Structure 1
Amino acid sequence: MLAEAPEPATVTVTRMITDRYLVGTRLRLRRAERPDGGCELKLTQKVPIARPGAVQGLITNTYLSPTEYELLASLPAAVLSKTRFSVPPLGVDVFDGPLRGLVLAEGEFTTDEEAQRFVPPPECVAEVTDDTRFTGGRLVETSRHDLLQWLAEYGLPPATR
């Protein structure tokens, strides 16, 4: 977790992301819009692995046409919006709505070994890798009150929230 969004000069790519967590499933429908007008549409299933630390679970992505996306978007879902800034090797998510002020950074690595060797940057204010409350599937259902309580558990000052 970071205290604030990255400096613009460090960002290589920016995307506006809307995630729709389909009710009653482990499926996420994502719309990722780029400033150049491009858009990526995909359906994702993430199955966690029951091991601590920075180890990727099983992820299946299916890239969709606009028609396929619109059909799936008609299903009941909980919606989470964020802006993702790529600052290699990190993807930094800055959340909207009741999660405003939450800034999560996730390492993007090719192998589990790379992830395990990673040392968080000094601007990291809390390590939440093993805290499932900070996964998209949980955050999409999180109230502002709960978020502030969780941040307080990490000893973050009010300015960080």
Structure 2
Amino acid sequence: MNRRSPLGEFLMARRAQLSPDDVGLPRYGYRRRVPGLRREELAMLAEVSAGCYTRLEQGQSLNASAEVLDAIATALHLTTAEREHLHVLSTTTSHRTGPAAPPEEHASADLRTLLAAMGDVPALVVGRRNDVLAWERSRTRPARRTRGPRLARRPGHPAQPVPAGLPGRAHPRPPP
């Protein structure tokens, strides 16, 4: 992914136009791999970190402050028009809209047919964001109660509180 943003292209072009002699930096050796200033040299002149400048030039940083942009503009010896253009490029870069919302998910007709054919097997169809898209409909009815609740309704059953006015428990207490 080697696509550069318009801000990065502008910064790289202006950096290539300056030589170390133009800004008072010593030359180390005769041969330079890049035309103009290195990223680290420009970051040092602008008093920002080399990583911050690199991310800005590569289009990875979307939140450069006006002070950082002014420091970079001063280090690049930009004119007033170029400085304004740098700020315009930065605001258009930083106010990009995010990716479009993913389309709404639905269970297909084939999946619903499969769920209907499953009978009484509990089943859910879940989307990529864990949304329940479909479920097996027969499980939506309340389950038929079995003996447990009927036993609890019997008077004197240990699960039921003894109403006031009735003698104590119907069952004898276990010895201590």
Please state which structure has a larger fraction of its residues in helix: 2
TM-score > 0.5 by shorter chain: no
- Higher RCO, 1 vs 2 (CA within 8 Å, ≥6 residues apart): 1
| TM-score band w.r.t. shorter chain | under 0.3
* Larger gyration radius, structure 1 or structure 2: 2
Give TM-score scaled by structure 1 length.
0.24
